[in-house]
Amino acid sequence: MSQKVHDAVIVGAGFGGIGAAIQLRRLGRHDLVILERESDLGGTWHVNRYPGLTVDIPSSTYSYSFEPNPYWSRLYAPGPELKQYATHVAAKYDVRRHMRFDTLVEGAVWDEEQHHWTVSIAGGERLHARLLLTATGFLSQPRLPDIEGIESFAGEVVHTTQWDDDLDLDGRRAAVIGTGATAVQLIPEIAPRLAELTVFQRTAIWVTPKQDGAVPRWLQRMYARVPLTQRLVRTVGSGILEAIMVSGVLRYRQAKLLNRGVEKIALRHLRRQVDDPVTRAQLTPDYSFGCKRPTFSNTYFPTFNRPHVRLETTPIARIEPDAIVTTDGGRTEIDTLVLATGFNLWDTNFPAFEIIGRGGVDLGKFWRAGRFQAYEGVAVPGFPNFISLNSPYSYSGLSYFTTIESQMLHMDRLLSEVARRRVTTFEVTERANAAFLDRMIANLGDSVFVQGNCATSRSYYFNQHGEATLLRPTSTLNAFGEARSFPLEDYAYA
Ligand code: NAP
């Protein structure tokens, strides 16, 4: 019996996977299977449900440019609206019917003879597809801290990605471990309900003011009637973010003054919002702005003025059944432990499951033994017909949607050429990949990661070799330009 070979298997039904499916359908590839380990679509926005969850990039920018939503309730929309938006887009572009939920992919192997990928699913099922696309996210594998005694804790423990909607926080004595973007959103929301809150900070985070607000009905109506108005807002918002989050970070050598200016704004924000000088000093980052992902908030800092909220910066020694003990012997009794400890990118992602290419080469081993690399953030030599959407050097640093949409353009150009040539395989050449990697490494020389002071930042932008291989060190415009015009001969076709 001949095997069924699909046009493509996409792994991940978040915004990346949805975008990839829309693009494949536009190219006439309709026999798609989207495999998703969770019980519904939306990726991050399905998994994360913690109190205070909002997007931290303005919503006009954090959405597909081809599917603007005039009805965001706020400039920074709450999490549930993002999930709703994902559901809406998947329905409108008719990609939901390709999705299979609660389906864990365990591995994929390139079949050299048949010229297709064989994808293994937990439980033993196998699928075959001409193309394999991974859209498994960067922040998808929760990090559970390896702290002595944590398993002995007798109270309630919750990681922010596994929020229990029934968790009753009223009157509890809680600790939050971690002060990343998630904690910055969560802490002000839960603090008023708690009897005591201790925040365990290892590394302070840069926080700038958030220009947020409700979007009035008349403005929503105007966005709906005259989409150009919302496009203008998107352009202005993206321009500001590009300056702060991309130029100020990736072109640090040239834009040092801009970077310092943002640092000053953040420090003034902190001075104005936190009364106690000791707490203020503890909340002051000791590394350059941009070494790790900064965030925006008007409510995080003032939470530390509340009498029942305390910041603890002495390292944690161990956890006991009813307390956290710090290395100075201090003991904080708690009944609830919130782990806002983020995600493991470099050990468990890249890739999120085993991928075996030509000649039995294991992608994870290839990246770890050599360098993390991917041509234009999407393709790897030795891995034919494979499009990796969460690759090293793929994230534009602006909004995840600019990354997705530039990758959709890359797919458009590449797969149109494959169709024009009537070939069955494509594979990026060693030469093109090496040239791209050399250029990214050279560009990184201008970034805050090399020019700034990042030694103490403990940033997930850096991989286990100490290289900042997550962000694409170019402007977003450059990423779009190259996606539209990369030399077609950078790929070999057969
Ligand atoms: P994160 O930025 O990685 O922060 C994790 C925090 O946990 C850090 O403060 C880290 O300290 C701390 N931590 C981890 N292990 C620890 C340990 N063993 N002991 C003590 N502290 C420990 O993760 P996140 O806050 O979840 O945010 C991840 C990313 O998600 C953000 O950067 C952002 O891109 C995205 N995000 C987006 C939104 C949004 O758009 N709505 C909201 C939230 C998050 P160190 O820094 O010292 O390692």
Q: Whose CA is nearest to atom 3 of ligand 1?
A: 342
Which helix (DSSP H) or strand (DSSP E) does residue 105 occupy? strand 105-111
User: Ligand 1 pocket, 180 CB below 6 A?
Assistant: yes
Q: Cα separation of 283 and 301, whole Å?
A: 8
Residue nearest to ligand 1 atom 33, measured at CA: 181
The C-alpha R_g of the chain, in whole angstroms, comes to 23
pLDDT, position 1: 56
Whole-angstrom Cα distance, residue 342 to residue 394? Answer: 20
Residue among 377, 436, 449 nearest 407 (CA): 377
Distance CA 437, CA 433 (A): 6
Contact 379, 388 (CB under 8 A): yes
Distance between CA 138 and CA 11 in Å, rounded? 13
Q: Which two tokens stand for residue 288?
A: 């350059």
Q: Averaged in consecutive runs of 10 residues, what is the pLDDT profile of the chain (494 residues)?
A: 90 98 98 98 97 94 97 97 98 98 98 97 98 96 95 97 95 98 98 98 97 96 97 94 87 94 97 98 97 96 98 98 98 98 93 97 96 97 98 91 97 98 97 98 97 97 95 95 98 98
**Which residue type does 65 have?**
S
Q: Verify whether ligand 1 is closer than 6 Å to residue 384 (CB atom).
A: no
With a CB cutoff of 8 Å and minimum separation 6, the contacts of 492 are 426, 427, 428, 429
User: From the CA of 67, how far away is ligand 1's center (Å)?
Assistant: 30
The superfamily in CATH containing domain 6-141+345-493 is: FAD/NAD(P)-binding domain (3.50.50.60)
- The CB-based long-range contact list for 401-404 (8 Å cut-off, 24+ gap) reads 401/15, 401/61, 401/62, 401/63, 401/64, 401/65, 402/61, 402/238, 402/476, 402/479, 402/480, 403/16, 403/377, 403/472, 403/479, 404/15, 404/16, 404/19, 404/20, 404/64
Task: Count the Cβ atoms, other than its own, within 10 Å of residue 168.
Answer: 10
Q: Is 448 in the pocket of ligand 1 (CB under 6 A)?
A: no
Around 388, how many Cα atoms within 13 Å sit in the side-chain half-sphere? Answer: 33
CA of 341 to the centre of ligand 1 (A): 5
Q: Is the CB of 177 under 6 A from ligand 1?
A: yes
Distance spanning both ends of the chain, measured CA to CA: 26
311 lines ligand 1 (CB under 6 A): no
Name the residue of 158, 182, 207, 326 to mutate for ligand 1: max ligand atoms within 8 A of Cβ: 182
Q: Is 126 helix (H, G, I), strand (E, B) or coil?
A: strand
Q: Where along the chain do its domains lie?
A: 6-141+345-493, 150-211+237-339
Find where tokens 């925006």 sit.
Answer: 296
106: number of CA atoms within 13 Å, CB side? 8
Nearest Cα to 356, choosing from 127, 5, 118? Answer: 118
For residue 122 the two structure tokens come to 């937990």
Sign of CA dihedral 391, 397, 401, 405: negative
Say how many Å lie between the CA of residue 143 and the centre of ligand 1.
Answer: 9
CB environment 389-416: b (16+ within 10 A), e (fewer): bbbbbbbbbbbbbbbbbbbbbbbbebbe
CATH number of this structure's domain 150-211+237-339, picked from the four choices 3.50.50.60, 3.30.950.10, 3.90.1010.10, 3.40.710.10: 3.50.50.60
178 lines ligand 1 (CB under 6 A): yes
pLDDT at position 2 is 72
Nearest to 83 by CA among 69, 66, 100: 69
Q: With a 6 A CB cut-off, is 339 part of the ligand 1 pocket? A: no
Hey, what are 257's tokens? 């003054």
Question: What torsion do the CA atoms of 6, 7, 8, 13 make, to the nearest 10 degrees?
Answer: -90
- Cβ atoms of 79 and 53 within 8 Å: the answer is yes
Q: At what angle do helices 400-421 and 15-26 cross, to 10 degrees?
A: 30
Structure tokens at 117: 């990928």
Helical (H) or strand (E) element with 7 = strand 5-11
The neighbouring-strand residues paired with 173 are 196
Nearest CA to ligand 1 atom 17: 145
Alpha carbon distance 477, 238 (integer Å)? 11
Assess whether the region 6-141+345-493 and the region 150-211+237-339 belong to the same CATH fold. Answer: yes
86 within 8 A of 45, measured Cβ to Cβ: yes
- Which pair of tokens denotes residue 41? 């679509």
Cross-strand bridge partners of residue 207: 295
Q: Nearest to residue 111, comparing CAs of 423, 493, 383?
A: 383
